[in-house]
Amino acid sequence: MKLLDTTGGNTKLAKTNRGEKYRVAGLSLFPSDINCPARHVAGCAESCLESAGRGRMSNVINGRQAKAAWFKDDQPAFLKQLNKELKSFAATCNRQGVKPAVRLNVISDIQWEKLGVPQLHPEIMFYDYTKLSARLGKTPDNLRLMFSYSGAPAYQNQVLQAVKTDVPMSVVFRGPMPATFMGRPVIDGDISDLDNLFAGPVIVGLRAKGKAKKSESLFIVDTNIIARVAA
């Protein structure tokens, strides 16, 4: 089973350009309590972006489920295949004269640094969103993170820890993006993931997609409601 998407077909990977020529690959594992441990406390399980873009297609769903099952049932074999593909991807990028960038958690939140994956491939720039504030500031130099916000009450300790850092914080907005949020300036996060990674202590504003468009989850900040209350 091939694990990495290196074709650029995933829309979540396509928005990646930082003024330098990168080729981007990603790993999409179907979300679960194992590979998304904070999804219930953050209130994002029901509004997960698994349904965004091609995520509605049955063949995509089946492929993501099969990969997640392999990771759960035979992690050593899974990691062997993943590291093989990462090495091949880096070699291909080198031949093409581009820089390799990899997002291993397209719709999951696995601590790959604890499994030693980024450390084995220092030539690759890894990047991810995370809901685990304990990861911030503790990853290898070639793995950069963005923290993912939720307004869920049980998740606020994570948010408070994250806001103390200089790590960018992503927020999903339904409605117009505000100029500021939580005292930080808001930038348009739907333009370039790599720009977002190096933006510092800002809010990376993301537009609600898929099931999130109608979700009542506190993972979504509804600026239409905020505007009506303010008026």
Average pLDDT, the chain: 84
For the segment 106-134, the average pLDDT, to the nearest whole number, is 95
> Cα–chain-centroid distance for residue 190?
12
Band the pLDDT of 17: cuts 50, 70, 90.
very low
Give the distance from CA 56 to its chain's centroid.
18
User: Mean pLDDT over residues 25-33, rounded?
Assistant: 85
Range with the lowest mean pLDDT among 69-78, 89-98, 125-134, 213-222? 213-222
On whether the CB atoms of residues 10 and 108 are closer than 8 A, the answer is: no
Q: Kind of pairing, strands 180-181 and 184-188?
A: antiparallel
pTM of the model: 0.82
Residue 216 has a pLDDT of 76
Q: Which residues contact 99 (CB under 8 A, 6 or more apart)?
A: 20, 21, 22, 23, 93, 125
Q: How does pLDDT run across 145-183, given as a tens digit for each residue?
A: 999 999 989 899 999 999 999 999 999 999 899 999 999
Q: Which amino acid is at 202?
A: V
Between CA 125 and CA 106 the distance in angstroms is 15
Contact by Cβ (8 Å): 176, 228: no
User: What are the φ and ψ backbone dihedral angles of 199, each rounded to 5 degrees?
Assistant: -85, -15
Which pLDDT value is given to residue 190?
A: 85
Q: What is the pLDDT of residue 229?
A: 38
Taking 90 as the threshold, does the pLDDT of residue 101 lie above it? yes
Residue 118's identity, in one-letter code, is: P
pLDDT value, residue 32 = 67
Residues 6+ positions from 230 with CB-CB distance below 8 Å: none
Q: For residue 215, what pLDDT band results from cuts at 50, 70 and 90?
A: confident
Rounded Cα distance between 136 and 147, Å, is 8
Higher-scoring residue by pLDDT: 195, 110: 110
Residue 11 in contact with residue 176, Cβ under 8 Å? no
Of 45, 4, 32, 43, the C-alpha closest to 154 is 43
* Angle of the 75-96 helix axis to the 58-73 helix axis, nearest 10: 120
Write down how long the chain is: 231
- At 38 the three-state DSSP class reads coil
Q: How does pLDDT run across 34-75, given as a tens digit for each residue? A: 777 776 676 665 545 444 444 445 666 888 999 999 999 999
pLDDT of residue 163: 94
